[in-house]
Structure 1
């Protein structure tokens, strides 16, 4: 009987020591240097992160997860396809390709399109600009409906050859290409 009781005490003692060691480790892992974290520490940190994570607000979600704005079909003017496209692109990213006339160098294209971008931004039309060729740039609009307003400005610029939005080419009013077609 004494042996039996002795075995229980040993088992209980081992259990208590291991339990205190586990609790001690659990408290200390938070005070460890991040460089000393092992896989278990990182897993705990990740679980804790996931528990406390709140869903992103609507305006911070990636575009493909956002709800599309509701279009009121009764207010659409279907006689003007450009207005329908403009309304359908509201709140969606859209790219417009802009070509510069008169065979510019890449630096000239950079300078000219930079001025155009600044003018658009001064008019509250926000876009990013990327040079893709010696005479061509992409203007990327976070709100695609602004692309058509930008197009109206761009085609009136002296060095604008053309603007392409949604595979439709709008020639610049001063471009040599436009004059040849007249």
Structure 2
């Protein structure tokens, strides 16, 4: 009798389990998706159809070969342009004065619009009352963006890879601009001097 009872219980359990499996699974609200859910969706989309490599998540794209022999490690701008081409890069910008988050959003939205008109797309996040995070899909544009931002009247600073560059609204900006101009003039003078020496040498040889 005990064996028969046990056998019946097993049949009932199997039947209930099959019934539960046939019930349609409740779809998860997209607003509740975690990073893992989004990653899984990206994987499924990649498997389901042909996707251009440029549209793939960054971790699935083929890494572009980098010729390290052409990289001057003393030139941070050159390093970023070479190593961050077609790669995500985060940079920061600070608005001068004591703005509210709304004011910072309005000011930096104008910056974003100007960059967009110059065919440079960025994603902008206001992370505090006077500071924004800028996300670039192609990090090689970082210094072009920096050059534009530091010339804006309300830009206090721009930070790229831990290096801070003072903006027009910063007291340090004028001093750095003078030093930069002086350095460029010296390089220009050396280049001009070298050309004159070479011209004189060629003349003497003739």
User: Which TM-score band applies after superposition, normalised by the shorter structure?
Assistant: 0.5 to 0.7
Instruction: Give 2:127's match in structure 1, choosing from 121, 126, 132.
Output: 132
Distance in 2 (CA, whole Å) between partners of 1:97 and 1:79 is 22
2:163 aligned with 1:168: yes
Residue 92 of structure 2 contacts residue 158 of structure 2 at CA under 8 Å; is this kept in 1?
yes
Secondary structure of 1:145's aligned partner: helix
- Residues 150-173 of structure 1, C-alpha deviations (whole Å, 9 max, x = no match): 001001111101011111111113
Distance in 2 (CA, whole Å) between partners of 1:132 and 1:90 is 25
Secondary structure of 1:83's aligned partner: helix
RMSD: 3.0
Number of aligned residues: 140
Distance in 1 (CA, whole Å) between partners of 2:157 and 2:74 is 24
Which aligned pairs between 1:102-121 and structure 2 lie closer than 5 A? 102-121=97-116
2:100 aligned with 1:88: no
Residue of structure 1 equivalent to 2:63: 68
Residue 154 of structure 2 contacts residue 168 of structure 2 at CA under 8 Å; is this kept in 1?
no
Flag structure 1 segments of 5+ consecutive residues without an equivalent. 1-37, 43-48
Distance in 1 (CA, whole Å) between partners of 2:117 and 2:66 is 28
What is the TM-score of this pair, normalised by structure 2? 0.59
2:141 aligned with 1:146: yes
The structure with the greater share of residues assigned to helix is 2
Flag structure 2 segments of 5+ consecutive residues without an equivalent. 1-19, 25-43, 179-206
